Amino acid sequence: MKNFILLFLLIYSLNLTAQNNYFKNKADTKDFSIDSIINIYINEIKPDSIRNTIQSLQSYTTRFMLEPNRKNIAISLKDKFISMGYLNTVIDSFIVITNFIYGPFNIQDTTWQYNVIATLEGSLYPDSICIAGGHYDSFSDSILVGKAPGADDDASGVSAAIEIARIFKMMNYQPKLTIKFIAFAAEELMGFSDESGSSYYAKNAYANNEKIKFFANNDMISYNRSISNWESKFHCFTGMSWIRDFAYSMCIDYTSITPDTATHNPWGDSHPFWQQGFQTLHFEEYEFNPNYHTVFDVVDSINIDYCAEMTKITMAMLISGAQFYTGIDENHKSGIQINVKLYPNPATDRITIDNAENQNLNISVYTIVGDFVLQKVLTNNKNIIDISSLSKGIYIIRLTNTNGTMLQKLIIE
């Protein structure tokens, strides 16, 4: 009887392990669409986990960039990523010269600052990158007495990146494009310093010709006094309509938040990426936080459930963007090399493609999440294509001939 019980427990344990592995890895199977995968993953976002991360950052009392604890904070963030399985996490150090006038104080200082970067390498296109991040430094009106808890600004944004990173490792998620989670340093004094963590990274990324598909920046995403009717600001920059439309679709499809376009924020971490021509968007709470840059910006004054809902937007974007493995490069380095015109755009039931080069033209159409929906070879100068079978939404069109490739967004209304 004893042996029977032991055998039963062993079989039960093996079955339970197999079941757990199935649910852990089910997003990798072909039985699940991108939509199903996103819903599986966003349901794993835990408000308590986000709260714990914010609380741990708040516990430093201050994360002001000129305080001596800045490297310890960077090391703790690195250790956090490593503990989740990101053994390749690095601290990227850089020098900042700061001239900061604050009331009667004139602070001039040269310091080392530290970005923290965790990488989930893509399986097919590891050199194409999607980025999620926020800044971990903080500021308050009482900075000179050593208090800058910065729960909303911006432990909330860092916690969003960490929560997504945690879930991706827990679920054994394998993207086709590389995903980087970055905790940026030295954001708060961008106007008083010669460098910030995001500007340092963006300039190096441009110089190294990094293929950055997009950077989703979360900065102050946790203040909301309402229990429903949630909204969010999407700070959009000139020329960044692709990522704005992409983020809108993810927000509407997978969250209870209503997106609202705002003018771009020249002081946030998105701005340096925009300056280098990379697709970027800054997510921010809709309601102004009265505790902004004060000692009252603490975890008890924010809405953790709202922060968790905001986190879903970036997670959906990362899953969609990192599964779009056709190699499309959305940043400024994508040059139009062929003479083709597509109209109307937006369209309803048909589009016209003028092929001035008079040679065979391959057209491939993908949804915004990379699902292939249509392919044709065009042989005429003017080609009318029936799109009445396609649902309303945003699509990416790839046009290719022997001279090169052109990418274009198509909106079907």
Helices (H), 84-188: 156-170
Say how far apart CA 85 and CA 149 lie, in whole Å: 28
CA 340-342-345 angle, to 5 degrees, is 155
Q: In what order do the strands lie in the sheet with 125-135?
A: 90-102, 105-120, 177-184, 125-135, 211-218, 280-285, 231-236, 258-263
Joined tokens for residue 119: 């990488």
Of 128-132, 138-142, 246-250, give the lowest mean pLDDT range.
Answer: 138-142
Mean pLDDT estimate for the chain: 86
DSSP assignment string, 201-247 = HHHHHHHTT-EEEEEEEE-S------SSS-EEEEEE-TT-HHHHHHH
Joined tokens for residue 99: 């001239």
Largest CA distance in the chain: 83
pLDDT at site 335: 39
Which residues share a beta bridge with 108?
A: 99
Q: What is the per-residue burial (b if ≥16 Cβ within 10 Å, else e) of 389-400?
A: ebeeebbbbbbb
The model's pLDDT over 63-93, given as tens digits with 9 standing for 90+, comes to 999 999 999 999 999 999 999 999 999 999 9
Say how far apart CA 409 and CA 413 lie, in whole Å: 13
The model's pLDDT over 15-31, given as tens digits with 9 standing for 90+, comes to 434 334 433 444 443 33
**Is the CB of residue 59 less than 8 Å from the CB of residue 396?**
no
The model's pLDDT over 261-284, given as tens digits with 9 standing for 90+, comes to 887 777 899 999 999 999 999 999
- Start-to-end CA distance of the chain, whole Å, equals 69
Q: Comparing C-alpha atoms, which of 14, 274, 268 is closest to residue 157?
A: 268
- pLDDT-derived band at 322 (thresholds 50, 70, 90) equals confident
Q: Comparing C-alpha atoms, which of 256, 259, 257, 264 is closest to residue 248?
A: 259
Residues 240, 202, 155, 170, CA torsion sign: positive
Which residues share a beta bridge with 247?
A: none
Question: What is the radius of gyration, based on Cα positions, of the chain?
Answer: 23
Give the pTM: 0.74
DSSP 8-state symbol, 143: G
